Chain A
Amino acid sequence: MLMIESSPTAATLNVPMPPPRHTESWQSEDALIEGLLAHDEESYEVLVRQYGGSMLAVAQRFCRCSDEAQDVLQEALLSAFRGIRKFRRGSRLGTWLHRITVNAALMRLRRGASRPEVQIDELQPFFDSAGRHAGPVPSLHPTSERRLLEKETRRWVRACIDRLPQTLRTVLILRDIEELDTLQVAQLLDVTTNAVKIRLHRARLALAKIFSEEQQESSSVSARSRVA
């Protein structure tokens, strides 16, 4: 039986992943790693239960369907079990598992059936011959704190992100959600840091337009339903 110790805080974990669930049953990282190295069955289960939720959340951000995210979680955890000897003491287990999950998700995206790339040009700013904006300029109302916490808002944001072409979507998730830095993203995707910056910028510009269009569409639907 492993010793039960206090739970780590998000600050001490220092990873984008939220702190593990089931903190009441938290075992120290060292004890958990010792257990995994000794092929202790209970330690495997503790790892899955304490980190599986956070890892699944990461997988769900990359994958467009729940089955695919579950496959990514399974691949990531099996890879972690196999690679536990490579885990560097002194690093955070959460950080290591986060990186493994991101890698598994990226592998899955690369293997997956190629989706037709969405046309991005119409989601970028365009200008007339005098260099002034031509066409609609996005305008977004700030979202209230209450709405930010609603499931419906999260679903809407996810659906908007899913409209981005895969190359931009991946960079946006890695930088703005998983909070990796530009160099880390460039290394993961095997592209230059400048390419990462440009893709991220294009993704945010496109997303501003998508959110704006969606917000206007939903305002006009509400207005129409009030009239009806």
Chain B
Amino acid sequence: MTCRELFELLMDYLEGALPPPQVELVEAHIADCDDCRSYIGAYREARDLVARTIRAEQPPDPPEELVQAILESRRKKPR
């Protein structure tokens, strides 16, 4: 398997959607190829970085003027 062939299967591999014989081929390639290992490591790290920083953010307090503007807009609109 070449790196190009591995990347054609990568999405399904990472989703657990590959049949076992192909999983074996992919994993054998990853074990032997520093570039693919590094790429896949970066892919996973990037996914985790997004989840663990942005998702963990404390919600901001909406500015008081905005709160008042929203309530005022509601009062002005017909029900």
Q: Which residues of B contact A73 (CB under 8 A)?
A: 62, 66, 70
Among B5, B53, B73, the most chain A Cβ lie within 10 Å of the Cβ of B53
Q: Which residues of A contact B57 (CB under 8 A)?
A: 57, 154
- Whether the pair B2, A140 counts as a contact (CB closer than 8 A) is no
Interface of A (DSSP majority class): helix
Interface of B (DSSP majority class): helix
Q: Which residues of A contact B7 (CB under 8 A)?
A: 125, 127
**Which of B46, B55, B63, B79 touches A204 (beta carbons < 8 Å)?**
B46
**Which of B5, B52, B56, B66 touches A74 (beta carbons < 8 Å)?**
B66
- Whether the pair B62, A52 counts as a contact (CB closer than 8 A) is yes
B residues 1-59 touching A (CB-CB < 8 Å): 2-5, 7, 10-11, 14-15, 35-36, 38-39, 41-43, 45-47, 49-59
A49 and B45 alpha carbons, distance in the complex (Å): 35
Q: Which residues of B contact A191 (CB under 8 A)?
A: none
A residues 194-217 touching B (CB-CB < 8 Å): 197-198, 201, 204-205, 207-209, 211-212
- Whether the pair A148, B56 counts as a contact (CB closer than 8 A) is yes
**Which of A127, A139, A177, A207 touches B2 (beta carbons < 8 Å)?**
A127
A93 and B50 alpha carbons, distance in the complex (Å): 26
A182 and B36 alpha carbons, distance in the complex (Å): 26
Binary interface encoding of chain A residues 102-118 relative to chain B, with 1 for a CB under 8 A from any of its CBs, else 0: 00000000000000000
Q: Which residues of A contact B62 (CB under 8 A)?
A: 48, 52-53, 56, 70, 73
Known: A57-B60, A148-B52. A211 touches B45 (CB 8 A): yes
Lowest 10 A-B CB distances belong to which pairs? A131-B2, A53-B59, A131-B4, A208-B42, A138-B42, A57-B59, A208-B46, A140-B45, A127-B4, A201-B11
What residues of chain B have their CB less than 8 Å away from a CB belonging to chain A? Answer: 2-5, 7, 10-11, 14-15, 35-36, 38-39, 41-43, 45-47, 49-63, 66-67, 69-71, 73-75, 77, 79
